[in-house]
Structure 1
Amino acid sequence: MVRAVTAAALRSPSSADDAASRHIDASDGTPEWRWAQCRRLQALPEMAAGALVPEGGRVVVVAPHPDDEILAAGGLLSLAAALGRPAMLVAVTDGTASHPGSTRWPAARLQAERPQESLAALTALGVQPQALIRLGLPDGGLREAEDDLARQLQPLLYPSDVVLTTWRLDGHPDHEATGRATVQAAAAAGARWLEAAVWAWHWAQPGDERLPWNRAFRLPLPAAVVQRKQAAMAAFASQIQPDPSTGAAPVLRQSTLARAGRPFEVFFDAAP
């Protein structure tokens, strides 16, 4: 059943709408052991994959960069595939800006390899998407391309879809722009939309009031699915290895990878 969406729901939530408060620094951020002790996180209501994506529905994941689809919804994609639900993945960028100044990972190499990493990750999850669409929009420039992204997404969506994207206040400008554009397109198509935090787990603290707990729920993941998700993350060599050409640490921190081992995924339902 598609929830009615008001005009207010299409705007980014206004609470703590201060980009400085959502700063993604160079540290590992909030460690996973602290999130594991968060009572508010553990007390979230749960929903099974079959109820989240009913028979006849399709999962559509709109990812700002290759790897966001796994971090945000790898477990959901794997469970939906096991249920026979079709899936479509929309890769908004090819992730070519992840290694500035690198000679090991120049933009041309990233453009060629990051999509292949995504394919390997989906294979590890047991997912064969019905459609895999790459829009090739500029990595790091999605705020300027937001209206164009919404226009490109809307004709791809059906009212029966469950559309998953990154949270509109996730802290990364590309994630937030993708979230806004996807919500706009999904609402126009009459589809159900969900948001997932990726970088918010880095800058937020357990019980943080900046997170929309009132519309959050958990999708339980069996141990076998957690293992598949972790194997999928291992496919992103460009993101999980240090860069000897610049001395940069891996793009994905150990704390980020640790969250791929959670026995659940958290989604934010459409704003009322």
Structure 2
Amino acid sequence: MSARETSPGDRERAAAAIGAEGTGEELWASRSVWDHWPEPSLPDGPVLLVAAHPDDEVLGFGGMLAQLAPDREVHVLTLTDGEASHPGSRLMPPPALARARRTELEEALDILGVERTARHRLGLPDTQLGTHEATATEWIEELLRTLGAPLCVAPWRGDLHADHEAAGRAARSAAASTGADLWQYPIWMWHWANPDDVRVPWGACRRLPLTAAARLRKEEALRCFRTQIAPLADHTAVILPPGELAHHRRSFETVITERDA
């Protein structure tokens, strides 16, 4: 079902799942569901990383960005500015929040070693990617063709966050059109799922080990997202509290390979 076909009830259930307490990292670690996941084969050539919001890049694939950037061409396409993360805030209304989040992302990508000329911003409306999916698809496809990139990395299209899912669908369409491989990284899945969740294609999950240096750079980059990891004076809910960040501080990163999903 596309975002345009998603019912209000579906959206409410998804929002409730993301807003709930969530699955602690302790449970994931105790079950070690990832122990036997293979490492995917990384094709030669440029890599295009797609994100729905500033910080998705670093949460889902920041360690790999740090590892890949010194030796190959890595491009990042951010579809929205994330201006809707603090609704109702007077301190950070959407235009100010968009500027702040763009700055945070620039700082994070500097730390991870992504060249400034390899950063692309589309500026589509936050929370409304589903209605702009065709535009996102066109941009992703054009970049894949221009770069000659054999690999597209994007949010998982089953993540239960409407923007993440729209970004994943757009990347899937673009990759299919260009013949690129597609790796999808989960963000909120670690929060709403559990190790026995049948909604997750566990057989298609792959593990990407991180070096100690890459983990340190990812951790430093995560700290750049000040608007997301700390409360605002007039918006006390933290978007990415420590319990959520713990899922993204592992010694590896996870992708779901499209051809196996």
TM-score by length of 2: 0.89
Cα distance in 1, alignment partners of residues 221 and 199 from structure 2: 30
Q: CA deviation at 1:22?
A: 7.8
Q: CA deviation at 1:129?
A: 5.1
* Of 179, 182, 195, the match for 2:168: 179
Partner of 1:98: 85
Is 1:52 aligned with 2:21? no
RMSD of the alignment, in Å? Answer: 2.1
1:1-272 correspondence runs (5 A): 20=13, 23-47=16-40, 51-54=41-44, 57-82=45-70, 84-128=71-115, 130-158=117-145, 159-246=148-235, 248-272=236-260
What are the superposed Cα offsets for residues 58-92 of structure 1, whole Å, 9 maximum, x if unpaired?
A: 1111100000000111011111113x111111010
Cα distance in 2, alignment partners of residues 22 and 239 from structure 1: 17
Q: Is the 8 A contact 1:163 1:186 kept in 2?
A: yes
Q: Is the 8 A contact 1:74 1:125 kept in 2?
A: yes
For the residue of structure 1 that corresponds to 2:23, the secondary structure is: coil
What are the superposed Cα offsets for residues 205-246 of structure 1, whole Å, 9 maximum, x if unpaired?
A: 023221111111100011221111111110000111112213
The 10-residue stretch of structure 1 (155-164 or 23-32) with the greater mean CA deviation from structure 2: 23-32
Q: Is the 8 A contact 2:80 2:125 kept in 1?
A: yes
Partner of 2:6: none
The gaps in structure 1 that reach 5 residues or longer are 1-10, 13-17
For the residue of structure 1 that corresponds to 2:76, the secondary structure is: strand
Q: Is the 8 A contact 1:66 1:114 kept in 2?
A: yes
Cα distance in 2, alignment partners of residues 91 and 24 from structure 1: 25
Cα distance in 1, alignment partners of residues 241 and 17 from structure 2: 11
Q: Relative to total residues, which structure has the larger helix share, 1 or 2?
A: 2
The gaps in structure 2 that reach 5 residues or longer are 4-9
What are the superposed Cα offsets for residues 20-53 of structure 1, whole Å, 9 maximum, x if unpaired?
A: 3684343441111111122322221124xxx414
Identity %: 40
What are the superposed Cα offsets for residues 116-144 of structure 1, whole Å, 9 maximum, x if unpaired?
A: 11111112223325521111101010111
TM-score by length of 1: 0.86
Q: Is the 8 A contact 2:75 2:114 kept in 1?
A: no
For the residue of structure 2 that corresponds to 1:136, the secondary structure is: strand
Cα distance in 1, alignment partners of residues 21 and 117 from structure 2: 35
